[in-house]
Copies of this chain bind each other. A is one copy, B any other.
């Protein structure tokens, strides 16, 4: 095994201006100083996530520039810190949207490390160190992450299929399990896209009785059924919600919901005290509701932030056992500009994965 330092170049495709958010240029960048719990990963694949687009376009606010996006990262561990116990050099590993947290607060100690107030995201986040190092993402040769945020990839899972699990998969798996998806439950999934196509599969893998897919596009019907839907409802039809009023225990909403009538309709399909968990994070505000829209069935509208390591590991295990797989196309990493454009335009069926090509 060659030494980690010599094999790990930190070099990635970066955006320098949010107005030119498809014009990636290679940059070298300095990772945070290596510490005892850190792991360096030589990247082989990185998925393209909607978050990448929200960030590089400035939709979520002005990012630090230049910015290397990418937080669905898989590869091999090439250097492990002296305190790392769960990973060894050469292991197939991955990293999602978070690479560090304080490890000391109640959230970190309670498998809620994704909610740590000192969390560091995989890119566009500054470490609390003296250098205030900026994290850079996985459209690059390597990433350095704390052991807690490095997930071993099961042998049975191809690396390129593991990549999109680590943000898109985990982002829907966590709210499914935290909100009781399983036998005896009727679950709704809004949107058939990068997140939605995982959510349908995981709802099925968790053995929910019904997996009702809401989509604005009749074209998605066959895909939704193939992915595991028990029913598909088209939201473009007035009164789409009527046959389902009061039926669903839980809805995971992976799509941008742009108007109040649609959100109100979705909420009305919930049972008493049912929950709609919004995992789509559009640049715009959610449509507003009346208080009465929530009162009529005592429903709850909630949010969710990625997932914990514990959940990531159980998700990967479930995916292997139940055959959950992303639908991906793999392209060279140099085509990242086209990839983010395609994500923005909603043209991916359903995840694009970049293959490392930096010399």
Contacts and interface: CB of A to CB of B under 8 A. Distances in A.
Interface of A: 60, 107, 112, 115, 117, 178, 245-246, 260, 272-273, 275, 278-282, 285-305
Task: Report how many copies the assembly holds.
Answer: 2
Contact of A292 (B112, B245, B281, B287): B281
A60 B295 CA distance: 14
A246 B280 contact: no
Contact of A299 (B291, B294, B296, B302): B302
A288 B287 contact: yes
A270 B107 CA distance: 13
User: Which of A245, A281, A285, A303 neighbours the largest number of chain B CB atoms within 10 Å of its CB?
Assistant: A303
A191 to B, nearest CB: 13
A249 to B, nearest CB: 13
Contact of A273 (B178, B272, B292, B293): B178
Contacts of A245: 117
Q: Nearest 9 CB-CB pairs, A to B?
A: A294-B303, A300-B302, A295-B303, A285-B288, A288-B288, A300-B300, A281-B291, A295-B305, A115-B272
B281 A300 contact: no
A291 B305 contact: no
Contact of A305 (B279, B290, B296): B296
Nearest to A281: B291
Contacts of A286: 288-291
